[in-house]
Structure 1
Amino acid sequence: MAVLRSSLRTADPAYAANSAAYARLQEQVAAARTAAVAGGGSQASQAHLKRDKLLPRHRINVLLDPGTPFLEIGQLAAHGLYEGAVPSAGIITGIGIVEGRPCMVMANDATVKGGTYYPLTIKKQVRAQAIARENGLPCIYLVDSGGAFLPLQEDIFPDENHFGRIFRNIAEMSSMGLKQIAAVMGQCTAGGAYIPAMCDETIIVQGNGTIYLGGPQLVQAATGEVVDHQTLGGADVHTRMSGVADHLARDELHALSTVREIVARPGPGRIASPPLAPAEPLYAPSELPGLIPENPKQPIPAREILARILDGSELNEYRERYGSTLICGTGAIGGYPVGVLINDGVLFSESAQKAANFIELCSQSAIPLVFLHNISGFMVGVSYEQGGIAKDGAKMVNAVSTSRVPKFSVIVGGSYGAGAYAMCGRAFGPRLMAAWPNARTSVMGGEQAATVLALVREEQLARKGQRFTPEDAEAYKQPIRERYAAESTAVNAASKLWVDAVIDPADTRAWLAMGLSLAAASPQQDTRFGVFRM
């Protein structure tokens, strides 16, 4: 195991310039986080509190063991979308510790459009359930929702991963022995009523909690009956008459205490201790922002990053002298063994083949994989295409796709095109995926996209006998550059749930270590690779 050595000099003017540029990016992320945490705003929050209800983040704080972390998933979901009306997609999801056991917590935010489900609300909850399933986590649903946002029903109701998927996931995870627990804190209407109805155990709060397939207005329209909320589907009805709920809670604190009692029952799912003694890196993770070049076109020094993430700054590098634009090697993070892949240039055939072999070795030894993206893509050009780079890249994509060891991805720089796929992008099943504030991701860089589309446009006009002057080309390319610049940011990726979180580089070790601890306690799967094209 070799110790990585750093040549960084914090007194270097470039370090100060890099740190200042990073701070400006971090301010943008901080503003997005502030908007997400604010929920529906002060007026909606005050109305919520007047009903003797706790705010959703307060509910989570009460539920979790004191002093333990909460790994929030999708905090920036829907940022800037839906006219800015649905911060955090109206639901808070994340992994927290309850009675010493890691759990996936999903809490509707009724201060945001009454907790109704938008398309990204559903996508976020389905993503949270997928993380729970992979890591063997119990699920806790803190329900306070008006059901589907009806104006967008076409994007919510009928498809495979729409609203119904949430209920199917509850049933399937229950069948796997993963506890499904609901605490109904407020209204639970229409299809949303199936969340508590399908959970293993359900608590409902007296006075505020309601569960019904059709609310009073729908009942009156359909049958002519006039009925109030509590008589139709309140806590007394469902704990004494219908049996839809199992436990009557006198208030929210009582409900959350009951959830804790249920989670505390004997069963699997405790955090696994690291098999190795954790060791801090030799170099401070707080120096990472100073390593990110102010100019995003400049390379990020890959080994300097690893020296501030890996335990003891130690890396056992695999084929150091072959395919050197991709660094592969084994080490540890927080005492958990890992196989690391980090880009140090464009992907060539040699680096792709090396990666495929390295992933095979890690899979054989059940070592989790960590992918650190900073990739413009695979090398293009006549000699590379004739040399079979598509075939060699496919080997790497095959290995990433079929390896069943836990995989984690962090975009530390750019993540473009097929390179993003090969480095275990979202479509390839990383258990958790994050981005640094400087991260960029798109099918290709904005300048390349603008140039390609301008050339296509020039050919189209030439066939019609029309000119396409350099001035025309520049006017055509500029809006494309601007659109790509806006769509490729880390905040935009998080708002669309392409990544689970935007994290500070200094927090990368802790973020990965928590994910690795969950994976270490989850059921292991055997890997069976597909056919590698030779």
Structure 2
Amino acid sequence: MTVLKSMVDTSAEEFVTNRDAMLSKLDEVEGEHAKAIEGGGAKYVARHKERGKLLARERIELLIDEDSPFLELSPLAAWGSEYRVGGSVVVGIGVVEGVECMLIANDPTVKGGATNPWGLKKSLRAAEIAERNRLPVIHLVESGGADLPAQKEIFIPGGRTFHNLTRSSAQRVPTVSLVFGSSTAGGAYLPGMSDYVVMVAEQAKVFLGGPPLVKMATGEESDDESLGGAEMHARSSGLADFLAVDEEDAIRIGRSIVRRFNWDKLGPEPRREYTGPYYDPEELLGVVPNDLKVPFDPKEVIARVVDGSDFDEFKPLYGNSLVTGWADIHGYPVGILANARGVLFSEESQKATQFIQLANQTDTPLVFLHNTTGYMVGKEYEQLGIIKHGAMMINAVSNSTVPHISVLMGASYGAGHYGMCGRAYDPRFLFAWPSAKSAVMGPQQLAGVLSIVARESAAGRGETYDEDNDAAMRQAVEQQIEAESLPMFLSGMLYDDGIIDPRDTRTVLGMSLSSIHNAEVRGTDRFGVFRM
């Protein structure tokens, strides 16, 4: 075994300072998570409970196997927007009767569970994860349809929801709708296009148009029950496959449906015997400096995440600003690429390209640990071919077919974000630590570039440059970019799948890898043209 040797001194002042800073950031994130959990607020939660109904997360808790974890995704969707944090829907991966499923639950305490633009984006991302990882989808439905004032942002892209359901069914991946309340207008197609439908008696209402719309369109008088009640759909229309007496019964029926899937994973099983890291994951709190300009050794992170802290480093003496190597996480073999000193040079780019090819030859998933300021700039590096070497790495990442998982630990700037499999490069999952920042470049650099351009423009016009305006501009730009680089802003925009506690990194990666292995894991030998 090649057990990593840690050099972390947990009693050092630097470690304690880093730890305190990380805990402070975690407190901020927890505060925002609390807003998502409270849904529409105390008033609407109380009203929902008074009706004898379960909350979205309570439904999920009853649905998944007892004492099993739930990997909630994008809990901070809509953060910083006019909509409630969470986007009126709860999504995540949970184990139901031993089967990993994507769960999508409307939160009826937020505008009756109506779909808003952020909730739609969140649901579509969940569907994408489900499709790529071959996960059955269970919708826990109670929604009034689209949030009508925002229909221009919902109607056209929202059709993708039903497209995804039918594609899933065609690919022999089951879909289930458990209908607890209203599912109207476009929402009626959720159960309409699911493989299995369970409706709760006297609560579930499914119709394309409710009584008021029917009255306006046809002049016909009708009531909820005869138009779209659970009893009618179970006895007359046939839309309901099962009629549940209450919510708990619907969840019981849902679990029995999953039990009959006869589900098998297509990916290889993990090694049955493995040990946890040799070093305490608690120490991850003090590894990342509060100032991201200060480098840190990513092997200290790897040592606290991989099985037995055992890591076979690849090309350790070449391109050492990027650490690459092989390890296991919860018994699953992985290749790891981790930024060591931020900047990616030609050597690191070529090393990464070769390593990604090797991972594809052996059908090994890849984990990218981000802390990069991007590819190196400057005359010397341009002449050495940094553009074509960076392009090689991005080519390899783009065309690699083994599953990728990205974790943003520190900086993730510029094209380095792309080369390390950022959001645009389709990682199966992308998570961020509270310490992470991502943008086209650092705030000071971006403000400085704008200042240089403005100075040159003024000189070209023969004008005197206003230094006071320049200072004010730089300060404003730095503040804006800093705010837009923070993980809560990026998570609110759904540019990651959630902000995680560093101490949970191993667990989150393990759950992600387990989900990934529902689908076939296969590499490729087909890449684009590598410019030499």
Query: Same fold per TM (> 0.5)?
Result: yes
Task: Map 1:185-196 to 2 at 5 A.
Answer: 185-196=180-191
Q: 2:428 maps to which residue?
A: 431
Q: 1:504 maps to which residue?
A: 501
Task: Map 1:21-36 to 2 at 5 A.
Answer: 21-36=21-36
Query: Displacement, 1:273?
Result: 4.4
Q: Deviations over 1:286-341 (max 9, x none)?
A: 00111111222211221211111121212111111111110100011111111000
Q: What is the distance in 2 between the residues matched to 1:2 and 1:401?
A: 31
Q: 1:171 maps to which residue?
A: 166
Query: Displacement, 1:363?
Result: 0.6
Q: What is the distance in 1 between the residues matched to 2:357 and 2:368?
A: 15
Query: Displacement, 1:364?
Result: 0.2
Q: 1:69 maps to which residue?
A: 69
Q: Does the 8 Å CA contact 2:276/2:307 hold for their aligned counterparts? A: yes
Query: Displacement, 1:418?
Result: 0.3
1:253 aligned to 2:242? no
SS in structure 2 of the partner of residue 17 of structure 1? helix
Q: 1:7 maps to which residue?
A: 7
Q: 1:40 maps to which residue?
A: 40
Query: Displacement, 1:278?
Result: 1.8
Q: Deviations over 1:234-254 (max 9, x none)?
A: 112211111222111111111
Q: 1:18 maps to which residue?
A: 18
SS in structure 1 of the partner of residue 183 of structure 2? strand
Q: Deviations over 1:1-32 (max 9, x none)?
A: 52211111111111111111111111110101
Q: 1:144 maps to which residue?
A: 142
Q: Deviations over 1:81-111 (max 9, x none)?
A: 12xx422111111110111111111000010
Task: Map 1:479-498 to 2 at 5 A.
Answer: 479-498=476-495
Q: 2:262 maps to which residue?
A: 267
Q: Quick one: percent identity of the two aligned structures?
A: 45
1:300 aligned to 2:309? no
SS in structure 2 of the partner of residue 141 of structure 1? strand
Q: Structure 2 counterpart of 1:372, which letter? A: L
Q: What is the distance in 2 between the residues matched to 1:189 and 1:490?
A: 35
Q: What is the distance in 1 between the residues matched to 2:441 and 2:31?
A: 27
Q: Does the 8 Å CA contact 2:135/2:518 hold for their aligned counterparts? A: no
Q: 1:387 maps to which residue?
A: 384
1:216 aligned to 2:211? yes
Q: 1:452 maps to which residue?
A: 449
Structure 2 vs 1, CA of residues 335 and 187 (structure 1 numbering), >3 Å: closer, same or farther?
A: same
Tell me how many residue pairs correspond in the alignment.
Answer: 529
Q: What is the distance in 2 between the residues matched to 1:279 and 1:391?
A: 41
Q: 1:79 maps to which residue?
A: 79
Q: Structure 2 counterpart of 1:177, which letter? A: R
Query: Displacement, 1:490?
Result: 1.0
Query: Displacement, 1:60?
Result: 0.4
Q: 1:376 maps to which residue?
A: 373
Where structure 1 has 5 or more consecutive residues not aligned to the other structure, the ranges are none
Q: Structure 2 counterpart of 1:186, which letter? A: G
1:330 aligned to 2:326? yes
Q: Structure 2 counterpart of 1:231, which letter? A: S
Q: 1:317 maps to which residue?
A: 313
Q: Does the 8 Å CA contact 1:86/1:113 hold for their aligned counterparts? A: no
Q: 2:115 maps to which residue?
A: 117
SS in structure 1 of the partner of residue 159 of structure 2? helix
Q: Deviations over 1:151-179 (max 9, x none)?
A: 12221122xxx111110000001011111
Which moved further from structure 2: 361-370 or 459-468? 459-468
Aligned counterpart for 1:242 among listed residues 237, 244, 249:
237
Q: 1:91 maps to which residue?
A: 89
Q: What is the distance in 2 between the residues matched to 1:366 and 1:211?
A: 45
Which moved further from structure 2: 225-234 or 306-315? 225-234
Q: What is the distance in 1 between the residues matched to 2:348 and 2:483?
A: 31
Q: What is the distance in 1 between the residues matched to 2:522 and 2:145?
A: 36
Structure 2 vs 1, CA of residues 272 and 263 (structure 1 numbering), >3 Å: closer, same or farther?
A: farther
Q: What is the distance in 2 between the residues matched to 1:59 and 1:371?
A: 34
Aligned counterpart for 1:228 among listed residues 223, 230, 236:
223
Which moved further from structure 2: 342-351 or 312-321? 312-321
Query: Displacement, 1:526?
Result: 4.3
Query: Displacement, 1:520?
Result: 2.6
SS in structure 2 of the partner of residue 329 of structure 1? strand
SS in structure 2 of the partner of residue 441 of structure 1? strand
Q: 2:287 maps to which residue?
A: 291
SS in structure 2 of the partner of residue 88 of structure 1? coil
Q: What is the distance in 1 between the residues matched to 2:432 and 2:412?
A: 10
Query: Displacement, 1:394?
Result: 0.8
Q: 2:471 maps to which residue?
A: 474
Q: 1:411 maps to which residue?
A: 408
Q: What is the distance in 2 between the residues matched to 1:39 and 1:483?
A: 29
Which moved further from structure 2: 383-392 or 272-281? 272-281
Query: Displacement, 1:272?
Result: 6.5
Q: Structure 2 counterpart of 1:54, which letter? A: L
Q: Structure 2 counterpart of 1:392, which letter? A: H
SS in structure 1 of the partner of residue 254 of structure 2? helix
Where structure 2 has 5 or more consecutive residues not aligned to the other structure, the ranges are none
Structure 2 vs 1, CA of residues 327 and 304 (structure 1 numbering), >3 Å: closer, same or farther?
A: same
TM-score where L is the length of structure 1: 0.97
Q: Does the 8 Å CA contact 2:290/2:435 hold for their aligned counterparts? A: no
Aligned counterpart for 2:131 among listed residues 126, 130, 133:
133
Q: Structure 2 counterpart of 1:7, which letter? A: M
